Structure 1
Amino acid sequence: MLRSAGAWGLLPGWSRIRSRIRGPRLQPFPARPPAAPGGNAGPGPGTVSAAGVAFLAVSRLFSQDKKEQQNLEDDIILLIKQAKLSIITGKLEDADRFLHQALKLAQQSHNNQAIIYTYVQMANLAFLQGDLLNAEKLFKAAMSQLLGSGTRQDDNAVIEMSLKLCSIYASTEQHGLAVEGYKWCIETLEEKVQSQKAVPEESLSANEKDNTRLLLGMSLDSCARYMMSRKQLELAESLYQKALEISRQVQGETHPQTVVLMNDLATILDMKGQHEQAYEYVRRASDLARETSHPDECVILHNLARVLMHRGNYSEAKLVYEEALKQAESKADKPVIERIREGMEELEAKTLKPQVLGGNESLNGTSSY
């Protein structure tokens, strides 16, 4: 779900293209049927009618067109695969070149599904490169193509791209557009989730309903992070609570994104000075992170150490900081290492302060922050 969810996985009509990119190649056409005995193609023995000749000519022409279209789609898929591999290996300029080639072929073949899919991949790449202006243009182009093909405005694919635009507006300090965008995404999805409850499963599968709920969770999470950055902590807490509830219900308590949301909610509560409530959430998150070898375990442990420090549990905080630092160093995660060391310096300053003042505060953690 949420941050870890594969963006654009919900776009309609793309399953064929995406499955061929990700999965095994399938033969697009059945094997040619055997010729009639004696090589006859017409109704009589050894004869071919004029109508039969005309039909065969049209059939061959149609078959050639289909083969050409199939070859173009194969080329597009190969280029997109090469682009994705280039992104993984950090060759972003090569990825951009492959995607432009794929778009050109998609436009030449009038393959609207491939055009939309390629636009989205290009937009994601531009976003990754920090070229937010270009990413915005590309997302809008993809949305225009999608809506022009008859897709409803409340389709999950449209909302997903709208959510990406919200992130761009938030990053470029276009506060009004970001807030309106987040509001539209959340309200539209809340109405959609409610309306889908009454739809029988034979008409709409449970998986499709869950996809809509997970997209709502993603929207709530993204908006919460933006509100936290603007110090609107009450609103951020409410949004995180809703996102966490959705993740728990749909994906379970131990899912990596559920654990991340527990940690994020603890951060908000800690910022509000509600250290005991923050501790409950971050302690649970850290326990689950250890049990499941969570990829962000060192970040969650860093947050646990901070909450412990704010509760006055200095000795325990020191041990957790050391554990977090060891993990971060093993991954060579420099930004996290830097934050952990800053936290350890802050903790050291707090433990020295009572000694300088001649106080009786113990490292066992009984003082208040």
Structure 2
Amino acid sequence: MYRLLGRSLGRGLLRAAGRRARGCCPRLLPGPEAEAASVPRARAPGLLPLLAVLAWFSKPAETEEEAAEQREATLGAEDAKDGTEAQIIWLLKRAKLSIMKDEPEEAELLLHDALRLAFQSNNKKAITYTYDLMANLAFIRGQLENAEQLFKATMRYLLGEGMKQEDNAIIEISLKLASIYAAQNRQEFALAGYEFCISTLEEKIEREKELAEGVMSGEEKANTHLLLGMCLDACARYLLSSKQPSQAQKMYEKALQISEEIQGERHPQTVVLMSDLATALDAQGRFDEAHAYMQRASELAREVDHPELHMVLSNLAAVLMHRERHTQAKEIYQEALKRAELKKDEVSVQHIREELAGLSGKSSPVP
């Protein structure tokens, strides 16, 4: 019964961390917003932040999984081994549903009740699972110190029960801890955490290549590769925010390769990573290379009706502006503005309007 948090919730947690972590955003918000977020102004202006870790591990079946979770939460737990465990399961399902419905206060109350029963019955699996949910909830709510302690408690229980440090569940928790340290500007701990996740997964993947056929399923191997991509992505965002665009570029290139090989070029995360890589190149003044990646990202975003198409287009316009293609940039910004208005994305709308105002009266130089 008890598993660590599902992929769909896990992605949401890392997105939340990206939004809350000052300086973890891959692109620069212009003007006062950038200063308020403590994002370095040295990078090229005019680029909007896409959602970090947008769709790692996403599969069509996840929508069905979430629907099943909601149904299960209303059914009780008649099939549990005993009354106490049945009550714990019911509380955890209700808590998970409350998290999905963005009702954190209700979820916290339910989780505390579940933890109390888990300790009373000495149900170690339930204790571990509940700690994990509590940690992720604190993470979502920006209660980073509390989340740190809860994640560490979860890890202690998992390791105490024999789980190895290279297990994907341990790596995922380590990645969240690294994201917390990044949000707290604890650079040494953040970098050490990212390095541990990446090096451990790379070594694990190399060992898996030597395994006999059939020892591990293709899905297991793919998940390990995708987790490595997620770690590279998160580390690259942190490096970029720390004014290390060339190092971030290398990380993005590896993450992009993984996403393309396993999820395909048209996958939403692949599109985001192309845009991220373009951002790292743009920050180094490599505008032609940045334009090539951003142009391809925008083409793919159109093809797949990407939920953040307006932001990809805005970033494309920014790169065009850096290349002094002002007329083209203005046209792309105008399209991005219309799409942002339809999405009711007020932050993007304000940003694009400011960029258009800055372009007023400018025209592309004659070739």
In 2, Cα distance between the equivalents of 1:213 and 1:247?
A: 9
In 2, Cα distance between the equivalents of 1:6 and 1:243?
A: 13
Partner of 1:166: 178
> Deviation at 1:299?
1.3
In 1, Cα distance between the equivalents of 2:304 and 2:68?
A: 32
Partner of 2:32: none
Q: What are the equivalent positions in structure 2 for 1:63-102 lying under 5 Å apart?
A: 67-68=81-82, 71-102=83-114
> Deviation at 1:242?
0.5
Structure number with the bigger relative contact order (C-alpha 8 A, sep ≥ 6) is 2
Would you say the 8 A contact 1:314–1:347 is kept in 2? Answer: yes
Alignment of 1:220 onto 2:271 = no
> Deviation at 1:28?
8.0
Partner of 1:4: 55
Partner of 2:157: 145
Which one has a bigger Cα radius of gyration?
1
The SS at the match of 2:354 is helix
In 1, Cα distance between the equivalents of 2:57 and 2:130?
A: 15
Partner of 1:273: 285
CA shift digits 1:213-254 (9 cap, x unpaired) = 111111110000000001101100000000000111111101
In 1, Cα distance between the equivalents of 2:123 and 2:229?
A: 32
Q: For 1:198, give the aligned amino acid.
A: E
- From the superposition, tell whether residues 162 and 270 of structure 1 become closer, same or farther in structure 2 (CA, over 3 Å): same
Partner of 1:250: 262
Q: Alignment partner for residue 309 of structure 1, among 299, 314, 321? A: 321
> Deviation at 1:6?
6.4
Partner of 2:242: 230
Partner of 2:191: 179
> Deviation at 1:161?
0.3
- From the superposition, tell whether residues 326 and 144 of structure 1 become closer, same or farther in structure 2 (CA, over 3 Å): same
Partner of 2:207: 195
Partner of 2:301: 289
Q: For 1:140, give the aligned amino acid.
A: K
Q: What are the equivalent positions in structure 2 for 1:257-268 lying under 5 Å apart?
A: 257-268=269-280
Alignment of 1:327 onto 2:339 = yes
Would you say the 8 A contact 1:312–1:366 is kept in 2? Answer: no
How large is the Cα RMSD of the aligned pairs?
2.6
Q: Alignment partner for residue 205 of structure 1, among 208, 217, 224? A: 217
Alignment of 1:128 onto 2:140 = yes
Residue identity over aligned pairs, in percent, reads 50
TM-score between the two structures when normalised by the length of structure 1:
0.77
- From the superposition, tell whether residues 22 and 200 of structure 1 become closer, same or farther in structure 2 (CA, over 3 Å): farther
More off after superposition, 118-127 vs 278-287 = 118-127
Structure 1 unaligned runs (5+)? 8-17, 30-65, 353-362
Partner of 1:15: none
Would you say the 8 A contact 1:126–1:135 is kept in 2? Answer: yes
In 1, Cα distance between the equivalents of 2:54 and 2:194?
A: 15
Partner of 1:336: 348
Corresponding pairs, count: 308
> Deviation at 1:139?
0.4
Would you say the 8 A contact 1:224–1:240 is kept in 2? Answer: yes
In 1, Cα distance between the equivalents of 2:308 and 2:138?
A: 25
Structure 2 unaligned runs (5+)? 1-10, 12-52, 59-65
- From the superposition, tell whether residues 169 and 67 of structure 1 become closer, same or farther in structure 2 (CA, over 3 Å): closer
Would you say the 8 A contact 1:311–1:365 is kept in 2? Answer: no
Would you say the 8 A contact 1:123–1:139 is kept in 2? Answer: yes
